[in-house]
Amino acid sequence: MEFKPAKFCPGCGYPIALMLLAKAIEKAGLSKKAVIGLDIGCALLAWDHLPINTFQTHHGRVTSTMLGFKRAKPDSFCVAVTGDGGAYAIGLQNLLHAAKRDEPVFVLVINNTVYGMTGGQSAPTTLKNQKTDTHPEGNLDEPFFGPELLKNLVAAGAFLARTAVNEPKQMQEFFERAIAAQKAGHFSLLEILSFCPTNWRTRGAETIAYLESLKQAFKTGEV
């Protein structure tokens, strides 16, 4: 499997998650059937990264676009890759209803707790007191727990989970679960806690330590 050079910042979590996603897709024999839609956010940088059909959409709109594709081509494997802002702020309404209707698409949310692409403003996932460009004195409210919120909405058979980019084994397992859910005709959402050293203003070990600290607030595992 060939990957074109990624355009992500050095140390970014996105390419790690995407590489494992592509491997899981290949392992499932779905490389040709898979279609990846990208939300606008740092996800858009993956437009020519993977040996899989890929296209960019609009910010917040990838879930709606991919369910349109999936309904038109039910034998495809549809992945909507989005940031936490795209999923839980501007695209939340569409995400909730896609989940409620049990649309058989796989929503992959990269949670870096900020708006990465636009330079580090607060996201719905920003922790209380976390400093961002839009909350220089610290964010005022508690973060948003996407998979937990959806839990009340989804049908039996849907798959909801959270993991982190430094947990390759769990990521791999959850990708397989998401693929299985879609094969069985169900919605799935996997949130991956991911490095954004650029906007966290961290380096090396600090970045990993920060990601680890996020796991206190955002519990990993199946939801």
Partner 1 sequence: MISNNRQFVTGAEAAVQGALDAGAEMMYGYPITPATEVFTIWIKKGQKYLQTEDEIAAGFGVCGAVIAGQKAFTCSAGPGHILMQDAISMAEGMRLPFVAVIGQRGGPSSGTVIYSQQEVILSCFGGNGEGHRLVYSPSNLDELYRLTALAFHEAWQYKFPAIVLTDGYLLKTKGILDETKAEPAKAHPLINEETFRHWRNIYNFEEELRDEVLKMENDFAAAAKEAARAEEVQTDDVEILLVAHGIVGAAAKEAVDILRGQGIKVGLFRPITLRPLAKEKLDKAAAKAKKIIVIESSLGQLARLVRDQLAPEISTPFDYLQKPAVGIEVEEIVNFVYGI
Ligand X SMILES: Cc1ncc(C[n+]2csc(CCOP(=O)(O)OP(=O)(O)O)c2C)c(N)n1
Write out the residues near ligand SF4 by the rule CB under 6 A. 8-9, 12, 14, 42, 112, 116-117, 196-199
Give the pairing of strands 159-164 and 53-56: unpaired
Indicate the length of the chain as a whole number: 223
Instruction: State in angstroms the smallest separation of the CB of 29 from ligand SF4.
Output: 30
Q: How many residues form the binding site for ligand X (CB under 6 A)?
A: 17
Nearer to partner 1 among residue 66 and residue 109 (C-beta): 66
Where are the alpha helices (H) located in 135-203, listed in sequence order?
A: 146-151, 168-183, 197-200
Applying the rule CB under 5 A, the residues between 134 and 163 that interact with Mg ion are: none
Q: Which does 210 bind (CB under 5 to 8 A by kind): ligand X, ligand SF4, partner 1, none?
A: none
Nearer to ligand SF4 among residue 9 and residue 217 (C-beta): 9
For residue 156, the SS3 value is coil
Q: Which does 182 bind (CB under 5 to 8 A by kind): partner 1, ligand SF4, Mg ion, none?
A: none
Kindly report the backbone phi and psi dihedral angles of residue 221, in degrees, each rounded to the nearest multiple of 5, phi listed first: 120, 175
Q: Which residue is nearest to ligand X (CB)?
A: 83
Closest alpha carbon to 159 in 187, 192, 191, 193: 187
Helix axes 92-100, 62-72, angle to 10 degrees: 30
Nearer to partner 1 among residue 97 and residue 131 (C-beta): 97
Residue found by looking up tokens 């038109």 in the block:
72
- Choosing from 15, 20, 84, 147, the residue that interacts with Mg ion (CB under 5 A) is 84
